[in-house]
A and B are shown apart, each in its own frame.
Chain A
Amino acid sequence: MFDYLANPTRFMRLADYTVWPLRLIAAAGLLIGSWLGLASSPADYQQGDAVRLMYVHVPSAWLALSSYLMLGLASLFFIVWRHPLADIAARAIAPAGAGFAFLTLVTGALWGAPIWGTWWVWDGRLTSMLVLFFFFIGYLALANGFDRPERGARPAAILAMVGVLNLPIVKFSVDWWNTLHQPASILRSGGMAIDSAMLWPLFTMFAGLQAFFLLMVIQRMRLLLGQARLARLADQQEAS
């Protein structure tokens, strides 16, 4: 299957088919999810309306983490098989992943603000997400840090793979740090008893945001492939 998809032209053609379905799922998911989340689901008895931020925060956290893993996988493909499509995939995933990591941090801070009384608390999860955000920043800085843009592709891929291997260690160390320092943390997004009325908005937002993420990645890949093809045609034009 990968060989089949690996041909850029074929990929672009297949990708074209996915765009409209993804647009629909994203739109539907986000609109319905937002309505359910904002209007029709209950407020938490402890946290009040702030809990509604969970519907964005939790899917974003999932997307940030899974996109970093996807980045590592694409990097592995690029390093081992040297396939340019893998590099294009990585370059498309990274900014989207960084964006969702940032969104997680912002929604996490907003969620916690009324509860903690401050704009930030060094909660274990938020701290890990912050370091993951730094990993994304490092990757983007390296990938774009060379005068010749293609020069940064392989170093960035190596960095991503090393990052994926280090991520469990970083997560563990932050949790370790957290248990010993015990900052104020009422935010137990996993441990909260989730009312079944909250499951539907969560699920639809999840689907909507996931589709949105995939849409961003595919659109960006199409853009990058298009640019590459344009450059190649311009060269041929010049040469002839």
Chain B
Amino acid sequence: MDTYAQKQLHWQGLSLRRGGRLLFDRLDGQLAAGEMVHLTGPNGAGKTSFLRIVAGLAVADAGQVRLDDQRWPDRETGVPLCWLGHATGLLPTLSGRQNLQLAARITALQNRAAPDWPTQKDDLFAITSFIDQPVRQLSQGQLRRLALSRLLLSEPQAIWLLDEPDTALDAASRAALDQLLTRHCARGGRLIITRHAPPADFAPHRVLTLRGAG
């Protein structure tokens, strides 16, 4: 279970062209255990595309992402990945609780989502008050908090890829998120995050900048 702490996630020669524009070219880099990387760049620089490539959702025009020397993504390796894109990933016709239980099932983490989860002490984002309402009745902020609660279900040493996770969040939840990110890296997890307006005390280990086309 802890064996993947040793594994290096790295990418070489990544190039992507979108709509005729070259977004990034011959990108090399890696993400080691315990690292928090802040991905920055101007709007339209391809940050979301880059994250999707690392997540295995998209394929670059050239170059590869690898875990050690294995192809990535490879569902066989069982290295847990937590992806949080712009969309919440919550099915609108289910309740928050049903969605989270479904999410736990998908990542085969049933043991972590007991029927009465989250208990008060797990509830970092204060979702218990609306967790049983159908998702389509919730506000943007509530949806975002539910989506972030998925991170609480994650394996401790997972790879987290977060695209603007603090949109529509109130101050308390933002603080909780920062706490969670620090804790995750301290326990050997790793993450890449994009955020529009990081708080003053945001201290990533590294900053990766995409310059964008032109």
Contact between A and B in the complex (any CB pair below 8 Å): yes
B22 contacts chain A at the CB level, 8 A cutoff? yes
Interface of B is mostly: loop
Within the assembled complex, what's the spacing in Å between the Cα atoms of A234 and B21? Answer: 10
Within the assembled complex, what's the spacing in Å between the Cα atoms of A190 and B20? Answer: 50
Which single residue of chain A is at the shortest CB-CB distance from B18? A148
- The answer on a CB contact under 8 Å between B214 and A239 is yes
Within the assembled complex, what's the spacing in Å between the Cα atoms of A232 and B21? Answer: 9
Contacts of B214 in A (CB 8 A): 238-239
B19 contacts chain A at the CB level, 8 A cutoff? yes
Contacts of A239 in B (CB 8 A): 22, 213-214
Q: Which of A2-32 contact B (CB under 8 A)?
A: none
A195 contacts chain B at the CB level, 8 A cutoff? no
Q: Which of A221-235 contact B (CB under 8 A)?
A: 231-232, 234-235
Within the assembled complex, what's the spacing in Å between the Cα atoms of A148 and B21? Answer: 13
Knowing A238-B214, A239-B213, A239-B214 touch, does A231 contact B22 (C-beta < 8 A)?
Answer: no
Contacts of B59 in A (CB 8 A): 82
Within the assembled complex, what's the spacing in Å between the Cα atoms of A235 and B19? Answer: 10
Contacts of B213 in A (CB 8 A): 239
Contacts of B19 in A (CB 8 A): 148
Within the assembled complex, what's the spacing in Å between the Cα atoms of A182 and B174? Answer: 74
Contacts of A232 in B (CB 8 A): 20
Per-residue contact bits, chain B 40-78, to A (CB 8 Å; 1 contact, 0 not): 000000000000000000010000000000000000000
Within the assembled complex, what's the spacing in Å between the Cα atoms of A232 and B214? Answer: 14
Contacts of A82 in B (CB 8 A): 59
Per-residue contact bits, chain B 3-27, to A (CB 8 Å; 1 contact, 0 not): 0000000000000000111100000
Within the assembled complex, what's the spacing in Å between the Cα atoms of A234 and B20? Answer: 9
Given contact pairs A82-B59, A235-B22, enumerate 10 new A-B contacts (beta carbons under 8 Å): A148-B19, A231-B20, A232-B20, A234-B20, A235-B20, A235-B21, A238-B214, A239-B22, A239-B213, A239-B214
Chain A residues with CB under 8 Å of chain B are: 82, 148, 231-232, 234-235, 238-239
Listed A/B pairs (12) with beta-carbon separation below 8 Å: A82-B59, A148-B19, A231-B20, A232-B20, A234-B20, A235-B20, A235-B21, A235-B22, A238-B214, A239-B22, A239-B213, A239-B214
